[in-house]
Amino acid sequence: ENPSESLILLDRCGKLFHLHLNDNYREWDHDMIVGSVNFWDYLELFFWLKKIKYEGWFSLDVYPYREDVVSACQQSIENMRTLMGLVDKLGVERLATLVQERDATKTAEVLRGIFK
């Protein structure tokens, strides 16, 4: 499933109350640090959260098997802040325009710009 698609469906139905976040390899709920595997999916998710002006709750569902629990939660929070900052850097309206244009090569070029 695409997290952003689910987010928009929930929002349209008035059922978006809370976000429960972690990361995984998609075949199992690994409860990993947010954004550690599916970086681009999370960037898209935070774009849509800003686009719909989400003001609800976030919670973490991180179960570090080898890492320090507090550190894993801190890294998840910092990754979330970083992703939100990247959306701000790129600009919500600019990203919305890219979505409307449906030009994958232009979008790739713009997204690569976050690393400069």
Q: pLDDT tens digits, residue range 88-98?
A: 999 999 999 99
User: From 3.20.20.150, 3.40.640.10, 2.40.30.10, 3.40.50.720, which CATH number describes the 3-115 domain?
Assistant: 3.20.20.150
For position 1, what pLDDT does the model report?
80
Is residue 47 within 8 A of residue 95, CB to CB? The reply is: yes
Residue 100 has pLDDT above 90, yes or no: yes
**pLDDT for 78 beyond 90:** yes
Tokens 């999370």 belong to 42
Q: How confident is the model over 23-70, as pLDDT tens digits? A: 999 999 999 999 999 999 999 999 999 999 999 999 999 999 899 999
Core vs surface per residue 67-101: b (16+ CB within 10 A) or e:
eeeeebbebbbebbebbbebbeebebeebeebeee
What is the pLDDT at residue 32? 96
Structure tokens at 103: 């030009």
